[in-house]
Amino acid sequence: MKKVFSYIMVLALMVSLIGCGSEKSSTNSEDNKKQEVKTMRIAHTLAPDSHYNKGLIKFGELLEEKSGGQLKVELFHSAQLGSERDAIEGISLGTLEATLTSTAPLANFSKKFMVFDLPFIIQDREKAFAAMDGEMGKNMLGSLDSKGIKGLGFWENGFRMLTNSKRRINTPKDIAGLKIRLMENPVHVETFKVLGAQPVPMPFGELFTAMQQKTVDGQENPLVIIDTSKFNEVQENLALTGHFYSPAAFLISKSFFDGLSPELQKVVSEAEVEARKWQRNYCQELEKELVTKLEEKGMKITKPDKKALQEATKSVYDKFKDEIGEDVINALVK
């Protein structure tokens, strides 16, 4: 009986240990599941020292901190994963997690975004921020939902300026005849056609070489891009036209976002808002220094008559008002 009792005790102890091990294994499995790291790949077309990349680095830091390491960012700059349109399509298909892109290519996905491309429609960026962060911006970003794209917010890109290697620009007539590289955007193309230029739509990644080889005479971009892309090496003349205001849209794959827990979705949204504010401030401080910096690098700077340019491009509004929607145009104008 003593032997039988001993066997029973040993057996009971073994069952107890197995049960504890199983429970511990189950707990570890749940903990591992909770701590599973998700990587958000973010693609953009600008240089590693650009305002896009610096803002996205800040976003990555905030995201990792707020998620306790459960979410991380992997950045692909300088068009490593293709053009802006490639990145947007990748997000729509769910093959890429996120991108920071100019709004011009988004006109191919929602006509509402064409409103930003109307010449001189925005001349006060602070008022534009208020509109983009409010109902108007939410409605525009919401128009991408059906494409599998979730718009998180509008970041800063800046007022677009005109450079060329032929001559100084002071009046609308000085633009006539110039071959100007543009984004693949119908409003941009029409604007420069009206000014008498020869628009040449082209991906950003091909631009520097095209200017170097004189395939195009010039291009238009915000000052920060002109500087970080070293366009001063192939372009002598810089005109402070401010003809378009160019925000940047932070987009995330809807399938990726919907696959996150509600807690992590909140983390992504909060990190984006904080990074957006940081990036906007960074851009505005940087822009103050850039005119002097580019002049020191050898660029000849002119300040064309903006009212004359605005008058010369009025017909662009009439051509696109039905396509964009007069309500959208009026909301931004007001």
Between the ranges 89-98, 223-232, 282-291, where is the mean pLDDT highest? 89-98
If one compares 63 and 286, the residue with the highest pLDDT of the two is 63
Residue 9 has pLDDT above 80, yes or no: no
What lies within 8 Å, CB to CB, of 244 at 6+ separation is: 116, 117, 118, 119, 159, 160, 188, 191, 220
Radius of gyration of the chain (CA): 26
Q: Which pLDDT score, from 0 to 100, does residue 332 have?
A: 82
Q: Which pLDDT score, from 0 to 100, does residue 8 have?
A: 52
pTM, two decimals, is 0.78
- Specify the residue for token string 């988004």: 106
Count of C-beta atoms within a 10 Å radius of residue 154: 22
The β-bridge partners of 249 are 101, 154
* Three-class SS state of 95: coil
Question: Can you tell me the mean pLDDT for 314-328?
Answer: 92
Task: State the chain's mean pLDDT as an integer.
Answer: 90
Residue 116 has pLDDT above 50, yes or no: yes
**Domains, the chain, with CATH or none:** 36-333 (3.40.190.170)
Asked if residue 113 lies in contact with residue 106, where contact means CB atoms within 8 angstroms, the answer is yes
Of 230, 206, 200, give the one whose Cα is nearest residue 218: 200
Residue 157, phi then psi, degrees to nearest 5: -125, -50
The answer for 94, left when phi > 0, alpha when psi is -120 to 50, beta otherwise, is left
Residues of the chain with pLDDT > 70, as a percent, come to 90
Instruction: Tell me how far apart the alpha carbons of residues 98 and 79 are, in angstroms, rounded to a whole number.
Output: 14
**CA of 182: how far to CAs of 25, 164, 194, 309, 316, in Å?**
59, 13, 14, 18, 16
Question: Can you tell me the mean pLDDT for 99-121?
Answer: 91
The model's confidence at residue 30, banded by pLDDT at 50, 70 and 90, is very low
Would the CA dihedral through 77, 83, 89, 95 be positive or negative? Answer: negative
Asked if residue 158 lies in contact with residue 287, where contact means CB atoms within 8 angstroms, the answer is yes
Instruction: Tell me how far apart the alpha carbons of residues 114 and 105 are, in angstroms, rounded to a whole number.
Output: 9
Of 231, 213, 205, give the one whose Cα is nearest residue 294: 231
* Three-class SS state of 105: helix
Q: What is the pLDDT of residues 237-257, one digit of tens each?
A: 999 999 999 899 999 999 999
The β-bridge partners of 302 are 239
Q: What is the pLDDT of residues 150-177, one digit of tens each?
A: 999 999 988 999 999 999 999 999 999 9
Q: What is the pLDDT of residues 278-295, one digit of tens each?
A: 999 999 888 889 999 999
